[in-house]
Every structure is written in structure tokens, then in C-alpha cells.
A and B are shown apart, each in its own frame.
Chain A
Amino acid sequence: MAKTVVIDPVTRIEGHAKISIFLDDAGKVDDARFHVVEYRGFEKFCEGRPFTEMAGITARICGICPVSHLLAAAKTGDKILGVKIPVAAEKLRRLMNLAQITQSHALSFFHLSSPDFLLGWDSDPAKRNVFGLIEENPDLARAGIRLRQFGQTIIELLGARKIHAAWTVPGGVRSPLSEESRQWILDRLPESFETLHLALNLFKGMLDEALKSEVDIFGEFPSLFMSLVAADGAWEHYGGHLRFVDSQGNIVADHLSEDDYLSFLGEGVEKWSYLKFPYYRPLGYPEGIYRVGPLARLNTCSHVGTPQADAELREMRQRFTNTVTSSFLYHYARLIEILACLEKIQDLMADPDILSDRCRAKGAVNELEAVGVSEAPRGTLFHHYRVDEDGLIQKVNLIIATGQNNLAMNKTVTQIAQHYIQGPEIPEGFLNRVEAGIRCFDPCLSCSTHAAGQMP
């Protein structure tokens, strides 16, 4: 008899979700669906607030990547003021984003996903978590905790708190970096590099052996990839322009501006999820499936622009293909991105502008509509505001990173379920693998259900 198995809640991800697996009469998997079951409605209740409050309010969309909202809100605010922000302000904002990518990726790898690889997909579900990892491998757990702490502490050094630091403002940032803080960061960098290399070597070793088959089963399919890239095509997380590539690495669209996002991004809705389904408009819904985030960023860029991360990127491309299509390798991409962040943080510490206190431009409301973009740990984030002459918000639209992977996450859970599940008796470890398909994307669901779609 046909039957539906529901995994509720999906654990070791950020946010509220379920997965349904639909079995046919023979017990084979027909289809699987990833449901997001929370919705708060930010875009509507922000109406009427001053645009300068948007950073503080939208940071509360997500406690894992508040910095992404702080940046996107500030960049939208810069455009509303119509100002060019000081050089030091951009560098400081970049520093905070690099720190955030580091902490968020460390959380995803060490705290949330590594128990699957290190303790085992089929290990005791009561222990298969960060506390189990602490028991089993305290040194690695401590190193991972301290790497996340490194990122969180940089955020605190800049913005006076680790989570929801009200530090970015339209026109720049509130306060500069102190020499003491710069020294702390420099002192802690060597340990952070060491931890990252430890994790990277461990994971690469597992890709050769223990995790070989996962690469083919966990969301291996063609799709488009989208992210920001720099003017020269290098990896980017703050500025630059948008680029789409296909799974052969062909550039499908380039030099796109966030201002025109509505011309190339659309959103579908399904009855079974609060999370909408963005797609690449020229290909339609749902054929316009694209992926964002760490793997997409490494696929769209020509190179990273820092020596160690570039060497790792070349190795990844040699091991697989120039454009990497397995969603399992998001984990690999995340580690390479941490390395890129650490190198870029190191470079910024040597930059004479980083201690400058010229970090804020002032202005009044000069434009009534603007779009700001940043690369969040999970992918490209768009904020779009329309304001009145007094700067009060009339309309808000947010396109959130995780939502853009929705079609891909659904495809991934279906692929994994079809591979492992061969009858009505389903071992717990198989269900865990299906959930782990979602963990590859490290979704941020409190963020993702606030996209309001098109601005009318």
C-alpha cells in the first residue's frame, strides 16, 4: 500500500522543517518533499518604519547570519542617501562579513554536520550531535568551537556584541577597529589556520574513502549557479556583480546588477511549504533551478585571489570537474571558503586603512528606491526598499539566500531517498541521510521565509 513517511522535525539545521517521503505500493520512493513550516512576515510589518531601523530589525530575521542583513540593509541605505561610503568603512564591513562567513561555516561543519561523518550516519541518534563529538573527539570539537569563536569575537570587537550588533549604518559603520582588537585578531589567526587545515585534510581524506559514494548520491545533478563575482571574475562576498554559470561552467549571464534582480529572478509558491521557490526567470518555473552559496561561489568565480585558497580550489577542480555539481561538496566548498576568509582577514590586518576612523558618510534621503546585495554564508541576499520623502518604508522585498536553494534541496532529498529506501522498513540511519541532504545546504530557515517576492 502507498505510504508517506514524515521526518519531523529535521534536526541539526537552523529552523523549522519536515520532510515527507512518498512510497508507492511496492514500497519504492515516488517522491520526497522538503517542507519549511515557519513564517513571521517581516516584509509586511516593516512598513512605516524609518529605513535607518532596517538593519536592527532585519538582523532579527536570523541569529546565525545577522551580519548579512546588517550589510544588505546598510548597502540599500547607502543608495537611499546617495552617498559613496569611505574606503575604510567598506573594508571594515568586509572584515565583519569575512568573520561571519568563518563562524557560520564553522558552525555548519563542526557543530551540525561533522557528527554524521565522524560518528557515523548510522550511529546512536541520542549521541550523534556536537555533545557526542565532544565526548568522542574533544580536541577536534574544541578546535571547531574556537574557530567559530574566532569569527564571533571579531564581530563583537567591531560591533560590541556577537549577535545582532547594531554597527552598520547607511553611509558606513558606527565605529572603527581599535589597535588592541587588531592585535587580538593577529594573535589568534595562526590557530585558526591550523584548525582549518586540520579539518580540510580530514575531510579530503574521507572524500577519498569513507565518503566517496555520498558525492554521487547527495544531490548530484546539473543546475545553474549564481553569485557575486569581482570585476575580474574573482571570488566576491560584498561588492562586484552577479553572474550565472551552468554545470559545464559556461557563463550564462554576467555583469548583472542587483538593481535589475526582478528581471531575472522569479518565485513560485507551493501549498506544502512556507518557503517559496525562486527560479531563473528566462528558463521559467521550475526549469530555472539554480543553486547559491559556497559551492555556487566557487563555481562562478575564476579564482579566489589568495594563494592558499586558490591552491585548494585548483585541487577541488582537479579531483572533480571544473564546475562541481554534487551538493555534498558544499561541505568541501565551505572549508575552502573559510580558508579564503582567514587569508583575506590577514591581508586586511596589514592594510593601513583598517584602523582609520573615517568610516561614515552622512546624507539625507536622496533616492526613494534602492536594492542592496551581499553574499551571506548561504548565498546571495537582496534587500529592496521603497521609502517616502521622510525615509519611512513603503514597501520591502527580501530575497534570501536559502530560498534560492529550495528547488535544489527538494531534488536532493528525493535523490537520496530513492537511492537508500527500498521498502517500507526504513532504518533510522537512512532517514538521517535524507536529512543530511538538507544539511549540505546549511539552510537558514528563519531567514528564508521572509522573501516577499516582487515589489508591486
Chain B
Amino acid sequence: MAKIRFATAWLAGCSGCHMSFLDLDEFLIDLAQQIEVVFSPVGCDLKDYPENVDVCLVEGAIANEENLELAYLIRRRTKTIISFGDCAVTANIPAMRNMLGDESEVLKRAYLELGDATPQLPDEPGIVPPLLEQVLPLHQVIPVDIYLPGCPPPADRIRAAIEPLLRGETPKLEGRELLKFG
């Protein structure tokens, strides 16, 4: 059977979901036989998200313009998108800033009030992506196919989601062990 074209991406998160993926430990060695990693911040040096991706695990919420662009690109080029972890599913911790109104509060505090040498806002065009006013969960900007909650989802939950996909089947995520926040 042809290897499935597999990707992972991170948006606004803590990389804990990716670390939990790496907690698959020796199962990664089996996985290497069955997948071709075509894009991944931790597992691949290719810089452009390619066409015809079969499965992509997307960690993190949508917090800035680059997150948004990458999410759109991933949707256009991917068959099955997994909303990977609580930040992607609910916007979780990054969305705690939403209650402060728009993004200016958090920026002002860190860079203007508190940068003691050269206080200024990081805003170089084309380099530093502007923050969005509100942080959003992934499914609010693109349709997703599978939700994998957890902060992070433990490795065996990730495995339960991936294994059926390797066989071309849709995973059935049901019950407390597989559908649990936090």
C-alpha cells in the first residue's frame, strides 16, 4: 500500500500536543513505515505546505494573520484535518486574552510599558504577523474533519485516531477516554 502523505502543523499553542505525538515513542518507528511526512515543524525540513496531503494534525488556535493563512492553505490541500488538542478545538489558553477586548492590551503591556530599552511594538511588515483581535478555534475559520481533544491528548488517544486512518478508515472517537478536555 502506498504511504499516506502525512503532515503536522502548529498555530497558537504550546507544542505540547506535538510532544504528546512524540510520546508515541516506539510506535513512531512503525509509523515511519506507513507514512511519508511531507510537512511538520518538528519532523520535516520542507518549508512549503504541499498539495495532496492525506492527513494533517493541526495544533493550536488561530491568533494571528499567519495562523489564518496557513489554516486556509492546509484546508485547500488536505483531505482529512484533525483539530488536534484543546487549543485547536476550543481556543483554550490562548483565548484567555479575548476577555481583555482586542489584542492591544497584551501588546501594550509587554512591549511598551515594560521593554525598558527601546520600547516599541514589534510590527515589521511581512516579518512579524499582526495579532487578530480575538483568538478563535480552528473550526471557526475552516471546516475540520475530526476533533481530538485534550491538553494535550495523551499518546494513546492520538494513536486511536491515527491507526484507522492508516487503514483508510474513519476513526470512531467515543467515550470518556477518547473525548475529554484538559
Contact = CB atoms under 8 A, between A and B. Distances in A.
Whether A associates with B in a native complex is yes
Interface of A: 6-9, 11-16, 18, 20, 35, 37-41, 43-45, 57, 60-64, 66, 107, 111-112, 125-126, 128-131, 134-135, 138, 141-142, 145-146, 148-149, 152, 161-164, 266-274, 276-277, 279, 285, 397, 432, 446, 450-454, 456
Given A134-B32, A266-B116, A271 B47 contact: no
Interface stretch (B73-81, B123-131, B161-169): B123-131
A345 to B, nearest CB: 19
A455 to B, nearest CB: 8
B174 interface: no
Contacts of A9: 41, 47
Contacts of A131: 28, 32, 35, 37, 43-44
Nearest to A15: B15
A64 B111 CA distance: 25
B110 A453 contact: yes
A40 B12 contact: yes
A97 B156 CA distance: 24
Contact of A138 (B29, B41, B113, B118): B29
A66 B26 contact: no
Interface residues of B, number: 65
A135 B32 contact: yes
B29 A134 contact: yes
A45 B117 contact: no
A45 B100 contact: yes
Contacts of A141: 29
A432 B45 CA distance: 9
Contacts of B40: 11, 129
B104 to A, nearest CB: 11
A43 B131 contact: no
B20 A162 contact: yes
Given A38-B64, A44-B105, A272-B124, A267 B47 contact: no
A129 B17 CA distance: 19
A16 B120 CA distance: 21
A199 B138 CA distance: 40
B116 A39 contact: no
B56 to A, nearest CB: 15
B13 interface: yes
Those 5 A-B pairs whose CB atoms lie nearest each other, nearest first: A63-B16, A41-B106, A453-B114, A269-B115, A268-B117
A75 B14 CA distance: 22
Contacts of B122: 39, 269-274
Contact of A11 (B47, B92, B93, B111): B47
A14 B40 CA distance: 11
Given A40-B94, A274-B128, A152 B23 contact: yes
